[in-house]
Structure 1
Amino acid sequence: MKLPTMLTQLLLSSSSSSPAEPSRTMDELQQRPVMGKVFTPTNYTVVRGFFLQDEPSFNSTTFDLLHSSFGLLSNSTSRWHSFRSSIDLLNSQANKHTTYKVLYVARHGEGWHNRAEEKYGTEEWNRRWSRLEGDGEMVWGPDPLLTPLGEQQARAVNEAWKEEIKDGVPLPMSLYSSPLSRSARTLEITWEDILIEPRGVRPLVREHLRETIGLHTCDKRSPKSVFAERFPSYKFEVPFSEHDQLWSPNFQESSIQQALRTQQVLNHLFATDPSPYISLTAHGGTIASLFRVVGHQPQEVKPGGFVPIVLKAVDYKSAESELLGGGASREAGPVPTALVGRRGEL
């Protein structure tokens, strides 16, 4: 596979990096990177040539994320050191209107709503069951937790990160989460014994990282106080309301409206956080929306999976993103007759 010229030069310039030795500590492997600039971007571009997920030939159905260096195209023993050097070089040589970040964009593990959709099929789920809170056997709303499988998926990602750490994978310096519990728990399992407990990294909850707003009860968040009790190591953006002021049982935001709020999340992130490596843990709809905003090719991210993206941001007035504002929200009919369901242990 022929790499873009700029990327080829970057990899050649960093090829002298020695492979990581198993005896080296995580702190030694995670040397201080070149920090990015902070500004509100006018345009985002995916930098291709680093990860398989950026390639037109990528097939998400056959891809094994956890046993292929997360899709990194290089398979050399010094692959992560070369990658890190390339990102450092991009940021050190960027002009004042340009910065680069690596986003690790994760989808939560399987939740009870996913199990319910699988049980009833997507058509019936969207038509009826998604607007209820349960069926007498399962409870999926509001704000369902992970299933046992979902927890296993997150632990598998945690173990994969530990393996890649041995070879020097750059870890995120900031952790951001959707306000929905399934995403927060996925993030917690993934990073608790890597960054949260040993390094004191506190994840930040961002309201606009949530799933498509409206109609589906699984996408209504818990009160802030409930979330804080459930995840005491997390902090909240300011302001953050106690109760969910965005969700409606009768309206659902359009894909254009969702893309607009996703763009606002990215704009705020680039304007306030100079970290070149960032983790976002969210939802399938959020990730699809982010792909649209940055021009990443559409693809499925399976529950518990994630996609690494090297993102270039500029604030040139002449480089403007697609106009995303507007678009009518979806209006639904009356909520289906609720079933009397038992609330079991989730």
Structure 2
Amino acid sequence: MENYSLLMGAAAVMKMAVEMAAVSMEKPSGHFPLPVPERDSVPDLGFAMTAALELFSYRGFLQMEASASTALYPVHRCKTIYLVRHAQGVHNVEGEKDHSAYMSPALLDAQLTPLGWSQVDCLREHVTKCGLAKKVELVIVSPLLRTMQTAVGVFGGGNYADGASASPLMVEGAGHSGRPAISSSNCPPFLAVEACREHLGVHPCDKRSSITKYRTLFPAIDFSLIENDEDVLWVPDVREANESVAARGMKFIDWLWTREEKEIAIVTHSGFLFHTLNKYGKECHPTVAEELGKHFNNCELRSMVLVDRSMLGSDTPTCNFPGKIPAGLDLPSDVADKKLAENGQV
């Protein structure tokens, strides 16, 4: 096998040498790093061969160490997640004008602005055109008004028709939106999860309303995983630390392995995404870490592949095929060579 590989490498080098010799018959245009024979001279195959070997050493390629940063994982141990930050909320606008506005009780459970809804429409158009809308099997959403408005606006069905058998995802005008009701037909299920909320505490905009209220506004969102009707996680005098948000985020990511869905959209918040992804970035190449660690824009979507390196999930392969059907002789040549060597016949 090694001789065959070397033979193939030699053939490739010879091909390159001939091509370089042909090029050497032409006058160079611009800078050329190697001396070029005159037009009327005979191509120097030895020169070309030497140059080719300098440019590409097949033996050297064979001796290269495999990159430790490259990894292969079975598909059934991976998920694709689509991370989305909510669209522009009224707290984003007021907070940028005056940071003290984040302390305003008037911004309790802040809703989207008209511009925010325009951002939702743009993202919806994108996920529809690129086919992502049909791939998503589950939408997980932070149970705050702005994230739920974003989630149903992007991934929900079309306008809800009165008399439809299924409940709407969002009723007309929910959260002072001025928007028509959104259908729950022809779209994935929606699941509210507290673990992907924004920093908890102090800022009223990050305090959620009661689940009872939400169920009237978003009838088709599943709130069954939320234990308390009122927001018992938010406190007025202590802001959740960044490290706590990151730890919560990593637990949330691990929890995703309890779900059978392979392609999941997650609509959440800037701080949650920033601190969680920066934790994962510490294990990556600096360029990848920088990419992970960037703050999300309003209504930005990023696609990630989640890999189960610790066997947290229990998925079995669905697309693999065992082969040997019908059964027959199929001894691989490398195994045959090994057996021959073990029997002393080589």
For 2:264, the equivalent position in structure 1 comes to 278
| Contact 2:73/2:307, CA 8 A, preserved across alignment | no
Alpha-carbon distance in 2 for matches of 1:113, 1:133? 11
Pairing of 1:169-184 with structure 2 (within 5 A): 171-184=135-148
Given candidates 142, 149, 155, the residue that maps to 1:191 is 155
Q: Per-residue CA shift, 1:305-340, capped at 9, x if unaligned? A: 1111112121169xxxxxxxxxxxxxxxxxxxxxxx
For 1:163, the equivalent position in structure 2 comes to 129
For 1:149, the equivalent position in structure 2 comes to 115
TM-score for both structures, normalised by structure 2: 0.57
- Cα deviation for residue 293 of structure 1 reads 3.6
**2:222 is the alignment partner of 1:231:** no
Q: How many residues align?
A: 209
For 2:295, the equivalent position in structure 1 comes to 300
Sequence identity, in percent? Answer: 25
Q: Per-residue CA shift, 1:253-287, capped at 9, x if unaligned? A: 111111111112112111x2122211000000111
For 2:101, the equivalent position in structure 1 comes to 129
For 2:256, the equivalent position in structure 1 comes to 269
Q: Per-residue CA shift, 1:120-159, capped at 9, x if unaligned? A: 2xxxx1xx3211223xxxxx2x101100001110111001
* Distance change in 2, residues 1:275/1:91 (3 Å): farther
Matched residue of 1:176: which SS?
strand
Q: In angstroms, what is the RMSD of aligned CA positions? A: 2.2
Q: Please list every run of at least 4 consecutive aligned residues from structure 1 whose deviation after the TM superposition is greater than 6 angstroms.
A: none
Q: Per-residue CA shift, 1:79-133, capped at 9, x if unaligned? A: xxxxxxxxxx9544x6xxxx2111100000000100101222xxxx1xx321122
- Cα deviation for residue 240 of structure 1 reads 2.1
Alpha-carbon distance in 2 for matches of 1:100, 1:109? 28
Structure 2, unpaired ranges of 5+ = 1-71, 159-168, 170-182, 282-288, 313-346
Pairing of 1:106-121 with structure 2 (within 5 A): 106-120=84-98
Alpha-carbon distance in 1 for matches of 2:155, 2:226? 25
- Cα deviation for residue 198 of structure 1 reads 3.2
* Distance change in 2, residues 1:282/1:267 (3 Å): same
Say which one has the larger Rg: 2
Matched residue of 2:185: which SS?
helix
Higher RCO, Cα 8 Å, sep 6+? 1
| Contact 1:176/1:204, CA 8 A, preserved across alignment | yes
* Distance change in 2, residues 1:210/1:169 (3 Å): closer
- Cα deviation for residue 199 of structure 1 reads 2.9
Alpha-carbon distance in 2 for matches of 1:110, 1:169? 21
Pairing of 1:54-73 with structure 2 (within 5 A): none
Alpha-carbon distance in 2 for matches of 1:203, 1:210? 15
* Distance change in 2, residues 1:221/1:191 (3 Å): same
- Cα deviation for residue 238 of structure 1 reads 2.8
| Contact 2:192/2:221, CA 8 A, preserved across alignment | yes
Structure 1, unpaired ranges of 5+ = 1-88, 135-139, 318-346
| Contact 1:174/1:278, CA 8 A, preserved across alignment | yes
**2:320 is the alignment partner of 1:314:** no
